[in-house]
Structure 1
Amino acid sequence: MWRVFAALLLPLMFEDSFEDSGSTGHKPLPLIQPKTFLGITVCNVTQFPNSSIHQHVINISDNVFNHTTGILSNRIIPFTYVLAIIIGIPSNIFVLACLSRKMDFSSGILYFSLAVSDLLLLVSLTLRVHYHLNNNSWIFGELVCKLVTACFYGNIYCSIHAHMCICVMRYLAVVYPFHYRGLPKRSCAICASLTVWVVFTIAMVPEFLIQQSYHVYGQEIITCHDIQPYYEKSYQDLIPYRLSLMCLGFILPSLIITFVYGSIIHHLNRSSRDWEHYIKASTLVFGIFLVCFTPSSVIHFVHYVKLYTQHQDGLYQYYRAAVCLCSFHSCLDPFLSYLLTKTSTSRSKIRSFTSGAQMPSSIL
């Protein structure tokens, strides 16, 4: 896992170093191209009297402007968001309605937490759809921009950690069945869910402490979160914070999930019983998790490393495209959960592979 991660990181981190080594001559004013794109604040005066946003005006390069007004940002990204919203919001509401009657089970609590985070993530995308279709111009005000930004990132990390909690419970049920039977499973599920929500709610507070929306100098558009003046001290301090957040929100749980799924499949393969269908289902769920979350998270992480070390933000446009996969995972979660539940409940019990002890399979 670490080798794959390093292989993805290194080419991206040193991409600009190879390009710069052959360039000479006078360099223009350092305006960074599209995660946020880096811009330069040029004034803080009231030039837009009809706007509800604080009058912060930012200057950007032509490349950044071309991205914010291009077909990828204005058509392809909102189309994928709309597709995820159409599928995901009804399916997650249906899951919540079904799980509300089964909250006495530990698995029901964890799946409920996952469905809530997925639903909030998809709801936050509705305003982003309008933003992209409106030529990347935000009309809902600074406070709503902050709320949508915090809701989007916070619920991505909540979804990842909810998956991690579900995987850990499955791991304990398969690998340590005797210990699992003695656990206060419902209390553990409640504590895990509340901890995840509290931690990432607090983690999103810094996003409310900075300006998120800016008028673009010389253009009639207002960006939301996509362009920020990282040459200013208050914004520079955000880069280590966001790097730490990505380590806690994605890298750590991904390593745990990889280990857990590998252990589950290894132990099921050692069993004398036929668990082929469940192994295939688990492998599918794990594969989709990696495909949906890994590209955007890796690009996002490398983007901030380059922004912090080289003041380069050219990867942000690729991150905005890759993040669409996260929204698809949110609409797939109800179907993936049903797949695992259907596969595991086809057998009423799972046996310990060493002693023949029995345990409920509902957590699987």
Structure 2
Amino acid sequence: MWTVCAVMLLSLMFKDSLQNSASPGSRSNQPDQPLQPKTFSGTIVSNDTLFPIDQPVMNVSDNIFNHTTGILSTRIIPSSYILAILIGIPSNLFVLACLSGKRKLSGGILHYSLAVSDLLLLVSLTLRVHYHLNNNNWVFGELACKIVTACFYGNIYCSIHAHMCISVMRYIAVVHPFMYRRLSKRFCAIWASLTVWAVFAIAMTPEFLIQQTYRIFGQEIVSCHDIQAYKARSNQALIPYRLSLICLGFILPSLVITFVYGSIIYHLNRSSRDWKHYIKASTLVFGIFVMCFTPSSVIHFLHYVKLYSHNQDDLYHYYRVAVCLCSFHSCLDPFLSFVLTKTSTSKPKLTSFSSKLLKPSSIM
């Protein structure tokens, strides 16, 4: 799987040699225009009478068009999505089936929420796969594009926050066992899950308020989310919105997860018992989390900085590849949860750091 990621990144570095030889057609070069957050930039031209009124026509540069129709975008990226779908959907459905019969287990609520968000993310990729394989031509309409876009990004952030909640519960169980015993774990798990889903359902509302599909001028191609125009009034708030979403959806939970796993590993190392397997498993889970979610979020953030300071959107090429790692994490979550569950129950008891005992079954 990591080999696939390496191939995608190398392909992006040499994207000029991987682009299709198809002629860009009758598109005309345009002077520099104000840029749009997150996606490629373009200029709206007069709407042709042959096109639907609710589907504006976009004029883009040859470089953007060639990348959009190149091998990286139409073959390599969808191939990675297909791999994630084939592994992730069955494994997450299996997790949901197993957890459905364990309603009394408080930890199962958070894992159930994580599996649902991962499953919805992978399901949304099915239409994205068709879009990429169809030469980045969206055929499902404006509303479907908005739903898929909101589902994709919303569930990425829901997955990150579900990991944060699970890690916090593990932290309390290991480092503060007496507090964990007094805690109403089922109540906390339910409200944590509901809060995460409610927050990001609201946070995705702007995706339904902006135009997501545009017909490319001179070509029979309709883009979905990847190419947008800067409209002074309707899109002015998108840069602060996207930056706030990155801070809330990734930076904040990543800081919490880093502190939590660091504290767990530190305290387990100080324990008189041998917890090497659990430490290795926790390190593995944290390392994969960082590797899958950090590249896309960092590039996403730098993209806005560069867009705001230099009016350049070239980092979006790299973001489209890096975001594939998020889909890989969604198919790895069931296996990582299994690893932690097995390691946390491999010992008869977990010694707290006040020389007290805590049952391993209570560890998330």
TM-score, scaled relative to structure 2: 0.89
Q: Do the aligned partners of 2:106 and 2:186 also contact (CA within 8 Å) in 1?
A: yes
DSSP 3-state at the match of 2:125: helix
CA distance in 2: counterparts of 1:252 and 1:348, whole angstroms:
35
In structure 2, give the amino acid aligned to 1:239: I
1:302-313 aligned at under 5 Å gives the runs 302-313=302-313
CA distance in 2: counterparts of 1:171 and 1:33, whole angstroms:
41
Aligned to 1:109: 109
DSSP 3-state at the match of 2:51: coil
Identical amino acids, percent of aligned pairs: 76
Aligned to 1:39: 42
CA distance in 2: counterparts of 1:315 and 1:233, whole angstroms:
25
Aligned to 1:48: 51
Aligned to 2:14: none
Residue 160 of structure 2 corresponds to residue 160 of structure 1: yes
CA distance in 2: counterparts of 1:147 and 1:330, whole angstroms:
19
Aligned to 1:340: 340
* CA deviation string 1:102-124 (max 9, x = no partner): 12211100000000000000000
* CA deviation string 1:37-58 (max 9, x = no partner): 0111112453225xxx823111
Q: Do the aligned partners of 1:34 and 1:316 also contact (CA within 8 Å) in 2?
A: no
1:112-127 aligned at under 5 Å gives the runs 112-127=112-127
1:1-364 aligned at under 5 Å gives the runs 29-30=31-32, 35-48=38-51, 54-364=54-364
Gapped runs of 5+ residues in structure 1? 1-26
CA distance in 2: counterparts of 1:34 and 1:172, whole angstroms:
39
CA distance in 2: counterparts of 1:118 and 1:136, whole angstroms:
24
CA distance in 1: counterparts of 2:199 and 2:136, whole angstroms:
31
CA distance in 2: counterparts of 1:34 and 1:137, whole angstroms:
21
In structure 1, give the amino acid aligned to 2:238: L
* CA deviation string 1:251-277 (max 9, x = no partner): 000000000000000000000000000
- Shift of residue 198, structure 1, vs aligned partner: 0.2
CA distance in 2: counterparts of 1:358 and 1:313, whole angstroms:
52
Farther-moved stretch of structure 1 (158-167 vs 343-352): 343-352
DSSP 3-state at the match of 2:54: coil
- Shift of residue 231, structure 1, vs aligned partner: 4.8
Going from structure 1 to structure 2, the CA distance change for 1:34 and 1:238 (only over 3 Å counts) comes to closer
* CA deviation string 1:276-312 (max 9, x = no partner): 0000010001000000000011001111222233221
DSSP 3-state at the match of 2:107: helix
In structure 2, give the amino acid aligned to 1:29: P
- Shift of residue 360, structure 1, vs aligned partner: 4.1
CA distance in 2: counterparts of 1:39 and 1:236, whole angstroms:
16
- Shift of residue 34, structure 1, vs aligned partner: 11
DSSP 3-state at the match of 2:88: helix
In structure 1, give the amino acid aligned to 2:245: L
* CA deviation string 1:168-222 (max 9, x = no partner): 0000001100011000000000000000000000000010001000001111100
DSSP 3-state at the match of 2:58: strand
DSSP 3-state at the match of 1:263: helix
Q: Do the aligned partners of 1:158 and 1:196 also contact (CA within 8 Å) in 2?
A: yes
- Shift of residue 349, structure 1, vs aligned partner: 2.6
Q: Do the aligned partners of 1:344 and 1:362 also contact (CA within 8 Å) in 2?
A: no
Gapped runs of 5+ residues in structure 2? 1-28
In structure 1, give the amino acid aligned to 2:253: P
DSSP 3-state at the match of 2:104: coil
CA distance in 2: counterparts of 1:28 and 1:142, whole angstroms:
26
In structure 2, give the amino acid aligned to 1:125: L
TM-score, scaled relative to structure 1: 0.89
CA distance in 1: counterparts of 2:220 and 2:30, whole angstroms:
24
Computed over aligned residues only, the root mean square deviation of the Cα atoms, in angstroms, reads 1.7
Going from structure 1 to structure 2, the CA distance change for 1:66 and 1:34 (only over 3 Å counts) comes to farther
- Number of residue equivalences: 335
In structure 2, give the amino acid aligned to 1:236: Q
